[in-house]
Amino acid sequence: MPLIDPTSRAIINGLQGGFPLTPRPFRDAGLELGLSEGELIEGVRDLVGAGQLSRFGPLWNAEMLGGDVCLAAIAVPPERFDEVAELVNAHPEIAHNYERSHALNMWFVISAEDPRRIAEVIAEIEAETGLGVHAMPKMHEFFVGFRVEV
């Protein structure tokens, strides 16, 4: 694992769990971190570009906005994993996609503006891949505060 420079460390540690909702959020967040607006924007861009952050952006609560979210999993033959991941990830409704050491080795989250779209996305993925998708809709939500200090 590559070493993380002090600026990247400050960005990762400082932006977990909140980002200012202001007209100039990068300027305001940068002030808290001792960085200029440009340094923060460039630092985030570099972290994402280097793969040290998988993404940087808002996490919308689809349900509070009238949509829905569903955890799903597929048992993918190992030799097809990359192909199937590409097909699944091509859907804009896919928020996260992870490989797991389990019979159901591909897990992903479907997030849609219209709750009916969840079933449509599942049907599309099944048609495109020829594999069954196991939908696991949320029964109850728990909030677990999670921070990773680097």
Tell me, what's the pLDDT at 2? 60
Distance of CA 133 to the CA centre of its chain: 19
φ and ψ of 105, to 5 deg? -95, -5
Catalytic residues: 96
**Tens digit of pLDDT for each residue in 72-97?**
999 999 999 999 999 999 999 997 89
**Using an 8 Å Cβ cutoff, are 109 and 71 in contact?**
yes
Rounded CA-CA distance 139/129 in Å is 27
Vertex 105: Cα angle to 94 and 146 (nearest 5): 60
Give the single-character DSSP code of 138. -
**Tens digit of pLDDT for each residue in 13-59?**
999 878 899 999 999 999 999 999 999 999 999 999 988 887 788 77
Residue 142: pLDDT band with limits 50, 70, 90: confident
Pick the CATH number of 68-137 from 3.50.30.30, 3.30.70.3460, 3.40.50.620, 2.40.128.20: 3.30.70.3460
Query: Could you give the residue range(s) of every CATH 3.30.70.3460 domain in the chain?
Result: 68-137
